[in-house]
A and B are shown apart, each in its own frame.
Chain A
Amino acid sequence: MALIACRNASFAYEGHVAAGGLSFTVNAGDYLCVVGENGSGKSTLLKGLLRLIAPRQGDVLTDGLRADEIGYLPQQTAAQKDFPAGVFEVVLSGCLPRLGLRPFYSRKEKTEARENLRRLGVLELRGRCYRELSGGQQKRVLLARALCAARKALLLDEPAAGLDPAAAQELYRTIRELNSSGLTVVMVTHDARCVTEYATHVLHLRNEQVFFGTAGDYARTDAGRRFLGGGAA
């Protein structure tokens, strides 16, 4: 079943088309990696899929996926680095789409937040202060928050940015497990290893769509060989 379908869509950032000519489909259970150089429109595309910005042209069909079924892991902002927030407060805020018109979280949401912390192996951090955690721990906490919001899909914007290689690999393995358990994953990444090992589909951007298809086909294209580091072969 198609969760997201773009038909010749383009998204603009500050007046310029950042990502154009987009035609691709994300089906339930897919693991799509969005790759491309800095400034190639990856984050803009993600914002478009989240419906934070409207397409300038074309259609984005997200019939199979409501906004409150998506868990989003944004890039870290400068303000968060010294923000006084408790880990549990952060994760609980992932249940925001479940609030509806209620002002406060119920026991059900608190249980879910705790369950997602456990799922990511960081339950013992729940009483800690967010800014005092290591980079890898912070990412796991934010991923737990995204899981609270995610019913069908996870949209991740460079989840491994700023992590050391070991922590990054561990995070990728966790994301892979979440994908295996039925969540659709759309991830912006710079990491070639992640693409070859985990992705089922690849979308390569250079302000327009260079490639979309399965990870296997991608490895056989010129763009794919260059990105994956097999250019000499």
Chain B
Amino acid sequence: MIATLAEMFSYTFLVRAAVVGLMVALCSALLGVSLVLKRYSMIGDGLSHVGFGALAVATAMRAAPLAVSIPVVVLAAFLLLRVSENSKIRGDAAIALISTSSLAVGVLVISMTTGMNTDVCNYLFGSILAMSKADVYLSVALSAAVLVLFALFYNRIFAVTFDESFAKACGVNAGAYNALIALLTALTIVLGMRMMGALLITSLIIFPALTSMRLCKKFRSVIVCSAAVSVVCFFAGVVLSYLYATPTGASVVAVNIAAFAAFSLAGFLRERG
């Protein structure tokens, strides 16, 4: 086991991928609890599709991928948040509209420039080779920011997530906290997308939160548990993908499915016993 790990991490690209992935897994787990509880899970999915379109356009223009996709996805995050809060437009339909549109634009742009080859596959399902040194710095900085902001605003985030009208009545600017969560989610998704793939990155946001909610009954324990589950599942997924030469993103999701099943079973047994 130790020998395998040592061999794995003698490859620089794997070390980078593991660092970026663990940071992204940690951030998305923290943000995911709030998103899932606020019924905003679909925003994460919509954002990853927008990110796919932005990445495709950036590649076609030979621009730096992050420089193009970060502002586009952040913008989309605010737009989707507004759409979900506006009761006049059907939020879920609007999100589906935006995400499929971005997907279509992305596919068109890719097919016009490089042709439909493995590139598309890498975008959609992720590639472990995609992480550069700059990504490592960015992901460490981002996750540090998410952790600090989350800790400092923890009590307010709880209040806004549990009962937005009460928090507003207490003078908390709920809109600002929603925007902050959307901004951090957008950054996390852009960072994690190229490794996990546009179609799979949402699982990092949704799975750990739902998994820990099977067993934990308090907000704080859900947060801590989901951070732990996310990090452990990501690491296990990367090791498995190395051992069996499977795609990284899909392996991580597979481990998350197993964890969800195990937690569900444990929760079920506890309810009955």
On chain B, the residues within 8 Å of A104 by CB distance are 154-155
- Please, which residue of chain B has its CB at the minimum distance from the CB of A99? B155
On chain B, the residues within 8 Å of A90 by CB distance are 162
Q: Please determine whether B165 and A74 come into contact, CB atoms closer than 8 angstroms.
A: yes
Q: Please determine whether A96 and B159 come into contact, CB atoms closer than 8 angstroms.
A: yes
Q: Please determine whether A84 and B216 come into contact, CB atoms closer than 8 angstroms.
A: yes
User: A14–B86 Cα gap in the complex (Å)?
Assistant: 10
- Please, which residue of chain B has its CB at the minimum distance from the CB of A92? B155
* Closest Cβ–Cβ distance, residue A93 to chain B (whole Å): 4
On chain B, the residues within 8 Å of A94 by CB distance are 166, 170
Check: B167 CB closer than 8 A to any chain A CB. yes
User: A96 contacts which of B167, B217, B219 (Cβ < 8 Å)?
Assistant: B167
Q: Please determine whether B217 and A86 come into contact, CB atoms closer than 8 angstroms.
A: yes
User: A86–B220 Cα gap in the complex (Å)?
Assistant: 9
- Please, which residue of chain A has its CB at the minimum distance from the CB of B169? A72
Check: B85 CB closer than 8 A to any chain A CB. no
Q: Which residue, of A70, A77, A155, has the highest number of chain B Cβ atoms within 10 A?
A: A77
Q: Please determine whether B217 and A93 come into contact, CB atoms closer than 8 angstroms.
A: no
Interface size on A, residues (CB 8 A): 33
On chain A, the residues within 8 Å of B221 by CB distance are 84
Q: Please determine whether B169 and A86 come into contact, CB atoms closer than 8 angstroms.
A: no
- Please, which residue of chain B has its CB at the minimum distance from the CB of A145? B166
User: A67–B162 Cα gap in the complex (Å)?
Assistant: 20
Q: Which residue, of B153, B163, B171, B217, has the highest number of chain A Cβ atoms within 10 A?
A: B163
Q: Please determine whether B219 and A89 come into contact, CB atoms closer than 8 angstroms.
A: yes
On chain A, the residues within 8 Å of B168 by CB distance are 50, 52
Query: Are A67 and B171 CB-contacts (below 8 A) given A80-B162, A85-B162?
Result: yes
User: A96–B151 Cα gap in the complex (Å)?
Assistant: 15
User: B159 contacts which of A67, A70, A93 (Cβ < 8 Å)?
Assistant: A93
Q: Please determine whether B39 and A79 come into contact, CB atoms closer than 8 angstroms.
A: yes
B-side residues, CB < 8 A to A, are 37-39, 87-88, 151-156, 158-159, 161-163, 165-172, 213, 216-222
Show 20 residue pairs from A and B whose CB-CB distance is below 8 angstroms, ordered by the A residue.
Answer: A70-B169, A74-B165, A79-B39, A84-B219, A85-B158, A85-B219, A86-B219, A89-B158, A89-B220, A92-B155, A93-B162, A93-B167, A96-B155, A96-B156, A97-B170, A97-B171, A103-B153, A103-B155, A105-B155, A145-B166
A-side residues, CB < 8 A to B, are 14, 47, 50, 52, 67-68, 70, 72, 74, 77, 79-80, 83-86, 89-90, 92-94, 96-97, 99, 103-105, 129, 131-132, 145, 149, 155
